[in-house]
Amino acid sequence: MDRALQEFPVVIIGAGSTGAALACDLALRGFPVTVLERGEVSSGTTGRNHALLHSGARYVVHDPASARECFEENRVLRRLAPEVIEPTGGLFVALDAADLDYLPEFLEGCREAGMDVRPISPRQALDQVPALNPQILAAVPVPDAVFDPYRLTASWLATAQAAGARVLTYVRVEGLEAGPPPAGVRSRAGDARARIVVRAQSLASGRELVFPAAVVANCAGPWAPQIGALAGVKVPVVPSAGVLVALEGRLANKVINHLHPPGDGDILVPQRQISLAGTTSWVAESPDQVPVPRDHVERLRELASRLVPAARFAPLRAAYSACRPLVADNVAADGREISRGFRVFNHGQSGLFTVAGGKTATSRAMAESAGDAICAFLGVERPCRTRVTPLVSYRRFRADPWEVQGIGK
């Protein structure tokens, strides 16, 4: 461990894919990292997503920057974490004349994003995926893949732990205070205000815990505004809710996408022995109370069955919802038009940062960007290593027992 960095303890709030990837990034750079998570790892949005390792093709026309980011990270993650990825491939399929009209724009967008994709005939597509709607008019293979969100997040954390990080679960952050540098934490010369204290509670014991930090990274996903409010800062994150429907059986071995502008029910993803149909989009009042409207479930099944007819009859295994933490200043009608890009906010000299937006598939890039910003803030130069460091197996991850670490008050 880099002794010079020991005076810069970093606390990360939230162990979803964003916080886990950032823990990995900063621990590999040599920082002493502590992750605080109020529940289990991945118990927020990350554990309830579609599990799609985006190729980026969904965004090539309307959000080309996100498309390029997804495509780049898709290739990086396949290299670093093959254990948690199933390289299924994906197909975009046209169902009607409007979809065919969209095809040239789509192909041009893919080309601009760096994706070398070519249409195949409907017959070839049906040979690859016999369960496809036999009426499709066109098909384009894309490098989509499927990942396991829990295992990917646990792999980020296992890699962080191997580099010295600690991960404390069932610890809820309840206060953030700018304060004098606690013992053992010195601010860098000329920047005596780079100091912050995190107050938290162990939900296992009720004990109050205190964590002095040089930097605190708010990676609380759709709850990021609540964490910001603890420090009196406004965090422009919109909780954009969506429903997912899990149908019994692996209806198709590839990710099947509807070839049209992003909309409801345009994808069916194979995940082990189920198929995930999704999704809808609306702005939730609170990330803690996201309903699963019955009409969304029925509509998703109906739309999925246009792609793969067997979806109409597959038994329903589960229906659930989660909130995308999207970055936007204004709350839009349904959240679809908000970019899937990410932002790193430096909230000023207290040392509080927020990392929000993006996707699980781009969590490494989000962490790299946040890690660079944190190094610049602290005035240290440590290169990012996550682009080239293979991840430690998720099987090695264990939450650290905080009781034995003597960090309680």
Ligand X SMILES: Cc1cc2nc3c(=O)[nH]c(=O)nc-3n(C[C@H](O)[C@H](O)[C@H](O)COP(=O)(O)OP(=O)(O)OC[C@H]3O[C@@H](n4cnc5c(N)ncnc54)[C@H](O)[C@@H]3O)c2cc1C
Among 202, 360, 369, 386, binds ligand X (CB under 6 A): 360
Residue 101 backbone phi and psi in degrees, to 5: -65, -30
Smallest distance from ligand X to CB 30, Å: 23
Among 323, 344, 391, 392, binds ligand X (CB under 6 A): 323
Residues 225/326, Cβ–Cβ less than 8 Å: no
Nearer to ligand X, 103 or 292 (CB): 292
Residue 242 as a binder of ligand X (CB under 6 A): the answer is: yes
Q: Mapping DSSP to helix (H, G, I), strand (E, B) and coil, where does residue 20 land? A: helix
**Beta-bridge mates of residue 120:** 139
Residues 233/248, Cβ–Cβ less than 8 Å: no
Nearer to ligand X, 8 or 59 (CB): 59
Smallest distance from ligand X to CB 230, Å: 8
**What helix, strand, coil percent values describe the chain, rounded to 5?**
35, 25, 40
Smallest distance from ligand X to CB 157, Å: 12
Residue 19 as a binder of ligand X (CB under 6 A): the answer is: yes
**Residue 233 one-letter amino acid:** V
Nearer to ligand X, 5 or 227 (CB): 227
Nearer to ligand X, 135 or 405 (CB): 405
Among 5, 125, 220, 237, binds ligand X (CB under 6 A): 220
Among 9, 14, 335, 371, binds ligand X (CB under 6 A): 14
Touching ligand X, residues 285-304 (CB under 6 A): none
Residues 167/35, Cβ–Cβ less than 8 Å: yes
Q: From residue 49 to residue 88, what is the string marking binding to ligand X with x (rule CB under 6 A)?
A: xxxx-x----------------------------------
Smallest distance from ligand X to CB 218, Å: 9
Among 223, 353, 377, 394, binds ligand X (CB under 6 A): 223
Residue 199 as a binder of ligand X (CB under 6 A): the answer is: no
Smallest distance from ligand X to CB 122, Å: 26
> Distance of CA 336 to CAs 104, 171, 326, 357, Å?
22, 33, 10, 13
Residue 209 as a binder of ligand X (CB under 6 A): the answer is: no
Smallest distance from ligand X to CB 12, Å: 9
Touching ligand X, residues 138-177 (CB under 6 A): 172-173
Residue 10 backbone phi and psi in degrees, to 5: -115, 130
Among 361, 367, 374, 392, binds ligand X (CB under 6 A): 361
User: What residues contact 144, with CB distance under 8 A and at least 6 apart?
Assistant: 52, 53, 54, 55, 57, 88, 89, 90, 254, 255, 257
Nearest to 22 by CA among 358, 338, 404: 358
Q: Dig out the tokens for 329 from the structure.
A: 């200043």
Distance CA 275, CA 265 (A): 13
Q: Dig out the tokens for 90 from the structure.
A: 């994906």
Nearest to 301 by CA among 272, 349, 268: 268
Is the bond preceding 88 in cis, omega lying within 30 degrees of 0? no
Residue 239 as a binder of ligand X (CB under 6 A): the answer is: no
Q: Where does this chain bind ligand X (CB under 6 A)?
A: 13-19, 36-39, 43-46, 49-52, 54, 172-173, 219-223, 227, 242, 244, 278-279, 322-325, 358-361
